[in-house]
A and B are shown apart, each in its own frame.
Chain A
């Protein structure tokens, strides 16, 4: 991994995008934003982020669609699902679709930053993913 790790924040809530962008920038990441699934898939293709913070309930294309779409790709970024959905069914579905972590909203931003770092360092030991 060279330079700042790229993080794509996908959420339809502008304030979540705004605050997470500020936090991740301050923590030494290179954040990019997407407010719906369609934009997220486009930015993943264009910018190839290292990790995606993915909300589930979104207009146009939801997070499930994005996960399913990424599952079929040979090269894909790590995905941390950040959703207000807290049911076990949703978590199982996310992991089945290839999510690496599942964080329930409202999360503590510091915790999320730690999880992002852990996931990325874990990824360093598993180069096949990137």
Chain B
């Protein structure tokens, strides 16, 4: 539209210049037109003055001249000529005046267009700068610098949305200037100016004092800005936050400034989204690297754990070829038997962990007496050289998968012996619709920082990783089985020192009504 108007004006200028007798100049300047006007008026005044003088002279001149040169005739002729010349001068003046105005218009338009071009260049370079960085903090810094530079002001802030849906707030994450929003300040959606812009997603231009009724929650600043703008940051339909700029000086923002800020806001929103995606990707990569590290550690510890029984088996086979007595041979056969069982248990452990990793494995629920089961597992443990003290009611019926429960109790007892210090105690305590199973030891306990990690697959606490056998799957298996049964497992400090591994199980999982509650008579 600007170009069409400009061409139109140029044509009119050429036309007026032609009519005004300035066709020799390809592009007449305002100054040239003014000079021509001055010349025109000087000539006109001179001519009229000369004619007036001639008329006077003609009147004074002798009367007896020929009819044609009679003073009255001459006078009329001179007056007529003067009128004619005046008419010519006026006509030229009209065109020159029009030409002068057209030239002025063209000059204003050119200047406005060059301003716009300048702003466009600044906007493009700001957009490029904002999108060339991936670190969110740097992006926010460049955003503010670009916006303030573009609008020639010194105060502004970026507020981003944090939290979900109803809980969402706008938080000031970048701010410049002394009189604007304080970094870290919080505004609810719909509150104050920023909250309202975020809600409506409509840019806002403000001048002078803010009407508190119009913007509930607005806090009047010590020094109110002379003019301010607030635009929403939206990328692909998703609201990210708002961009504020304020002018405390003489500068008043207009619609054009608002439009400019909106254009910048579009690029800014894209840059913020990119920076966030990059950040998420970076975190994801870090997680993958960590997973890779723990898996490598796992493979190392598994291979170590598999190599150890294999060494014994090969040693036993080799020794049996050299054995002299029957007793020696029997002893070596026992070694092979023990170590193959150990290998089998390890393989089983890995398979169970892999099975638990697959979602949707439903345990087979049966009515079982947890107290009896715990006593049985404790007996097995005792036989294997790991004594356990049991404190449980006579009967405690729950609906659970017996094989899973045996494994849970067994793994926890083994864990207590491996990483804790004897005596190991197992307690079963009914509590309302739940049963609390605890395995307590007298060791050093588990450091707070490791209480969650020890239940993660492949994780082995640093201090135990090199000195204790195991592949680090015992506790993850416990957690997997407990959660599959709808319960929860955690570790805390035992009241009498050491670690307390607690398992809370529901007496009646998933709509089981016919189960009798636990008989609550504890037996030491």
Judge whether A13 and B318 touch: CB under 8 Å: no
Instruction: Specify which of A57, A86, A104, A106 is in contact with B314 (CB 8 Å cutoff).
Output: A106
The residues of B that contact A23 with a CB separation of less than 8 Å are 315, 318-319, 322
Give residues of chain B (298-314) contacting chain A, Cβ–Cβ below 8 Å. Answer: 300, 303-305, 307-314
Which of B181-189, B272-280, B331-339, B409-417 lies on the face that meets chain A? Answer: B331-339
Instruction: Specify which of B315, B324, B467 is in contact with A20 (CB 8 Å cutoff).
Output: B315
- Provide the bound-state CA to CA distance between A13 and B308, in Å: 8
Instruction: Specify which of B307, B324, B335, B468 is in contact with A19 (CB 8 Å cutoff).
Output: B335
The residues of A that contact B313 with a CB separation of less than 8 Å are 106
- Provide the bound-state CA to CA distance between A26 and B307, in Å: 24
Instruction: Specify which of A13, A62, A86, A87 is in contact with B311 (CB 8 Å cutoff).
Output: A13
B316 at the interface (CB under 8 A from A): yes
Instruction: For the complex formed, measure the closest distance between the CB of A102 and the CB atoms of chain B, giving whole angstroms.
Output: 14
Judge whether B311 and A16 touch: CB under 8 Å: yes
Chain A contact patch, size range: 20 to 34
- Provide the bound-state CA to CA distance between A2 and B98, in Å: 129
Judge whether A26 and B322 touch: CB under 8 Å: yes
B118 at the interface (CB under 8 A from A): no
- Provide the bound-state CA to CA distance between A18 and B328, in Å: 10
B466 at the interface (CB under 8 A from A): yes
B323 at the interface (CB under 8 A from A): yes
Instruction: For the complex formed, measure the closest distance between the CB of A122 and the CB atoms of chain B, giving whole angstroms.
Output: 23
- Chain A 10-23 interface mask (CB, 8 Å, partner B; 1/0): 00010110111011
Instruction: Specify which of A15, A26, A59 is in contact with B312 (CB 8 Å cutoff).
Output: A15
Instruction: For the complex formed, measure the closest distance between the CB of B295 and the CB atoms of chain A, giving whole angstroms.
Output: 16
Which DSSP category, helix, strand, loop or mixed, fits chain A's interface? loop
Give residues of chain A (1-59) contacting chain B, Cβ–Cβ below 8 Å. Answer: 13, 15-16, 18-20, 22-23, 26-27, 57-59
- Provide the bound-state CA to CA distance between A86 and B308, in Å: 12
Judge whether B332 and A22 touch: CB under 8 Å: yes
Judge whether B318 and A19 touch: CB under 8 Å: yes
The residues of B that contact A16 with a CB separation of less than 8 Å are 308, 311-312, 315
The residues of A that contact B314 with a CB separation of less than 8 Å are 106-109
A118 at the interface (CB under 8 A from B): no
Also in contact, A19 and B466, with CB within 8 A (given A26-B319, A108-B318)? no
Which DSSP category, helix, strand, loop or mixed, fits chain B's interface? helix
Judge whether A85 and B304 touch: CB under 8 Å: yes
A110 at the interface (CB under 8 A from B): yes
Give residues of chain A (81-130) contacting chain B, Cβ–Cβ below 8 Å. Answer: 84-87, 104-110
Instruction: Specify which of A59, A86, A106 is in contact with B310 (CB 8 Å cutoff).
Output: A106
- Provide the bound-state CA to CA distance between A19 and B324, in Å: 13
- Provide the bound-state CA to CA distance between A84 and B324, in Å: 29
The residues of B that contact A86 with a CB separation of less than 8 Å are 303
Judge whether A109 and B318 touch: CB under 8 Å: yes
- Provide the bound-state CA to CA distance between A62 and B304, in Å: 15
Judge whether A19 and B319 touch: CB under 8 Å: yes
The residues of B that contact A85 with a CB separation of less than 8 Å are 304
Instruction: Specify which of B304, B335, B338, B467 is in contact with A84 (CB 8 Å cutoff).
Output: B304
Instruction: For the complex formed, measure the closest distance between the CB of A32 and the CB atoms of chain B, giving whole angstroms.
Output: 17
- Provide the bound-state CA to CA distance between A19 and B182, in Å: 74
Instruction: For the complex formed, measure the closest distance between the CB of A38 and the CB atoms of chain B, giving whole angstroms.
Output: 13
* Shortest Cβ distance from A59 into B: residue: B467
Instruction: For the complex formed, measure the closest distance between the CB of A114 and the CB atoms of chain B, giving whole angstroms.
Output: 12
- Provide the bound-state CA to CA distance between A107 and B312, in Å: 10
Judge whether A105 and B311 touch: CB under 8 Å: yes
The residues of A that contact B307 with a CB separation of less than 8 Å are 84, 104-106
Judge whether B310 and A109 touch: CB under 8 Å: no
Judge whether B312 and A19 touch: CB under 8 Å: yes
The residues of A that contact B335 with a CB separation of less than 8 Å are 15, 18-19
Judge whether B328 and A22 touch: CB under 8 Å: yes
* Shortest Cβ distance from A108 into B: residue: B314
Give residues of chain B (460-510) contacting chain A, Cβ–Cβ below 8 Å. Answer: 466-468
- Chain B 87-123 interface mask (CB, 8 Å, partner A; 1/0): 0000000000000000000000000000000000000
The residues of A that contact B310 with a CB separation of less than 8 Å are 105-106
Instruction: For the complex formed, measure the closest distance between the CB of A106 and the CB atoms of chain B, giving whole angstroms.
Output: 4
Give A residues with C-beta under 8 Å from B: 13, 15-16, 18-20, 22-23, 26-27, 57-59, 62, 84-87, 104-110
For the complex with contacts A19-B332, A26-B322, 20 further pairs of A-B residues with Cβ separation under 8 Å are A13-B312, A15-B312, A15-B315, A15-B335, A15-B338, A16-B308, A19-B312, A22-B323, A23-B319, A26-B323, A27-B322, A57-B304, A59-B467, A84-B303, A84-B304, A85-B304, A87-B300, A105-B307, A105-B308, A109-B314
A sample of 9 cross-chain residue pairs with beta-carbon separation below 8 angstroms, ordered by A number, consists of A15-B312, A15-B339, A19-B312, A62-B466, A62-B467, A105-B307, A106-B314, A108-B314, A109-B314
